[in-house]
A and B are shown apart, each in its own frame.
Chain A
Amino acid sequence: MAQSLAKQNRSRTAAIHLVLMVLSGFFMLPLLWMLSTALKPIEETMTQPPTWIPTRILWHNFSDAFTYGRDTLGYTPFLVYGRNTLVLCILGVAGTVVSNSLVAYAFARLKWKGRDFAFAVTLATMMVPFPVLMVPIYGMFKEFGWIGSFKPLWVPAWFGSAFAIFLLRQFFRSIPMELSEAAKIDGASEWAIYWQVVMPLAKPALAVIALFNFMGTWNDFLGPLIYLLDQKTFTLSLGLQVFQSQHGGTQWNLLMAASAIVVAPIILLFFFTQKQFIEGITMTGLKG
């Protein structure tokens, strides 16, 4: 009896592994196909049956995609796109960490009248879809003379976002109040408590919001599409779309190489920060 039960269990585990492996195939194939195509000569992208491992591996497809149009533009487009994206990511991450930690401190560690109501309003703002706000915000930035510059894409990050405030507030609340009280007895100011007590303990949560903001900026397409005018100021996402619309449907190998150039840093970032990633996503979904 016990033996047959163990047998049944084993066959069940084997079945689950089989299903998981087939599904893993479906999830991995597109990325592997992108890499395979990116390394092929152009003729080989159209051979039937297709080859997974190119007969000739062309690493220079990557440098070709990277430098495409350099001679007519006078600069290396993807290098410039990459630099622009990185600048925006750094400014955005810095703004996110500074502004949201300050605001979350007020919501989590200080007592004031109307705090809970203000927090409820903050949460409710997450429901407002960006398309409703898009036109007036564009008009405002136009008044400021910011259209065509990077400012519309990073300045708002310095003024807080509901989602990050929510995440940090949850975390700040889990830090014992006794620590703040002890520091206060020692004569520490509110600012000193924020900077020397709470912030050092909140590093894991700060890493999560920094990571999410980095990803969001790297990914953003609509923002750069609306605000950037000169190709020299484009980000990787917008640059890739331009590349696609100019050379799409023909040079799939170069297109896949360009696409991989945009994906690779994010995948790399993931492998270095896997723990924060998984914890962060879990926090967003469960602590609601």
Chain B
Amino acid sequence: MTLKEKKETRSALLFASPWVIGFCVFLAYPLLASIYYSFCDYSVLRPPVWIGLRNYTNLFQDEVFYKTLSNTAIYAIFALPLGMLVAIGLALLLNTKVRGLAVYRTIFFLPSLVPMVSLAVLWLWLFNGENGLVNIGLGFLGIKGPNWLSDPEWSKPALILLSLWGTGNAMVIYLAGLQDVPVQLYEAADLDGASPWDKVRNVTIPMISPVILFNLIMGIIGTLQVFTVPYVMFPGGSPARSTYFYTMYLFDNAFRYQKMGYACAMGWIMFVIILVLTMVSLRLSEKHVHYGGGA
């Protein structure tokens, strides 16, 4: 190493030092500690005691664990694709060069700014069985709305529905992606006599596929950690544990039952699920995602 290189490396270490510390203290250490605790009986009040795989074997016999896992999976399976569909649909509509684009974009985007707790409180009122706006609207159409908040059949659909209200964030990303698609591609398609739907399927979707993949992966990570809205709207995962999600059970184990080791084991299972799903998305996307142009 030359003197100049040495000097530059030394300044780099200095500049990066906040992150070096942050990485070690708030990431590497907790990650390692969390693996260790997941093999321990640990309650924060007393030092951890090694119990081997017992947390994991207990988890695999824990009915509530399976219940929260399936609740979360069902929620994700509906909320994630529907949310992407709505966001892409809105973006496509806005990309037709209509007048007033900025106004529409603001309207669709605003709900995604509403803080989670406000959002939960607002939708508690909207989904109210008798005086809620949702059922009043349904009644207007001659449909008798369900008891969204107290019927275990309808509590998850209620959460999925309200999650669609906040898709504005993703819509803005898609819209920017759409605006980056070169006009020449559409002109070429027009020359070939392509229909609007052909153009969406064969030009637009392939061109924005990297954006879709990015949103899918971020969506998986976010949706599997769903916590605040159900925690506020459905205390204890009511009714009949139909809204008891994985992170809520993990939180209860850690801070309500003081089963910190058990909670860490749950955290690691979640991490592994996220890693596997991300790998699968990346692998499946290899054939379909088109990396070209500038994006």
Contacts and interface: CB of A to CB of B under 8 A. Distances in A.
Given A28-B110, A110-B15, A159-B18, 13 more contacts: A30-B133, A30-B165, A34-B122, A37-B125, A50-B136, A129-B221, A132-B264, A140-B30, A158-B18, A266-B115, A285-B170, A285-B211, A286-B295
Contacts of A181: none
Nearest to B173: A285
B228 A129 contact: no
Given A30-B165, A125-B23, A244 B215 contact: no
B143 interface: no
B115 A262 contact: yes
B49 interface: no
Contacts of A190: 8, 11, 15
B271 A132 contact: yes
Contacts of A132: 30-31, 34, 264, 267-268, 270-271
A185 B132 CA distance: 69
Contacts, number: 270
Contacts of B268: 132
A176 interface: no
A13 B27 CA distance: 52
B56 interface: no
Contacts of A46: 130-131
A176 to B, nearest CB: 18
Given A17-B98, A131-B247, A125 B173 contact: no
A226 B247 CA distance: 13
Contacts of A30: 111, 122-123, 126, 133, 165
Given A27-B165, A139-B33, A111 B271 contact: no
Given A133-B34, A285-B215, A218 B115 contact: yes
Nearest to B105: A278
A contact residues, range: 35 or more
Interface stretch (A55-63, A71-79, A199-207, A251-259): A251-259
> Is the contact region of chain B dominated by helix, strand, or loop, or is it mixed?
helix
Interface string B196-219: 000000000000001100110000
Contacts of A284: 173
A31 B124 CA distance: 13
B111 A20 contact: no
